[in-house]
Amino acid sequence: MKKIIFWGATGQAKVLRECISYYDMNLVALFDNNSQLISPFDDVPLLPGEKFETWLLHQPSPASISFLVAIGGDRGRDRLKLHDYLKSFGFRSFNAIHPTSFVAKNVKMGEGSQILAHSTICVDTVLGRSCIINTAASIDHECHIGDGVHIGPGANIAGSVEIDSFAMVGIGATILPRITIGKDAIIGAGAVVTKDVSEFSVVVGNPAKIIRSGKSGV
């Protein structure tokens, strides 16, 4: 059985463990920067992030261990930074693809992708690194999704949409065809996006309206 570690020990870790249960993977350790947490699993130890490099000293071959960064929400930058940190020690990146999801054969998928239950990714779509396509989310044809993007549960992304790095699309949001979503933008839960959204903006409602524009409040 192949070994895997997670960085992150809250709800996303629970979701990912269920996902990897369909593979020949054994979760051997959890790490988290929050030292107040306890492990969500009785059979898997949780170590504070500051102890990671000490733990590493006792691992004979990091290249034989895979990893996932179990951090959701709008923390795409943190997810990608931790991904690169773990990879720098020789650990192997793993793409978690739930067996109930649909991923078209020619989808290009970056390292560390998390494609969760009942989600759909259609033809000619490109995903960046460390993306989360959450439960029952749908991405139609020819979309381009940047690094560290999180598409929330039940969100619907129409065809030819571009979502730049570290954007977050909330639960049940809808983005109409050929829309561009800027870097670090946040699309509120249930929003219906009918026009382009600039970087660092926050939009909510139907039709979606800006409640924070540009870098203000960041």
Cite the active site residues.
141
Contact 10, 25 (CB under 8 A): no
Contact 153, 137 (CB under 8 A): yes
- Cα–Cα distance between 180 and 64 in angstroms, integer? 39
Decide the pairing of beta strands 65-69 and 46-48: unpaired
Using alpha carbons, select from 71, 61, 118 the residue that is nearest to residue 92: 61
b/e per residue 33-62 (b: at least 16 CB within 10 A): eeeeeeeeeeebebbeeeebeeeeeebeeb
Contact 179, 159 (CB under 8 A): no
- Cα–Cα distance between 63 and 65 in angstroms, integer? 6
Contact 82, 32 (CB under 8 A): no
Please work out, in degrees rounded to the nearest 5, the angle formed at the alpha carbon of residue 24 by the alpha carbons of 10 and 31: 30
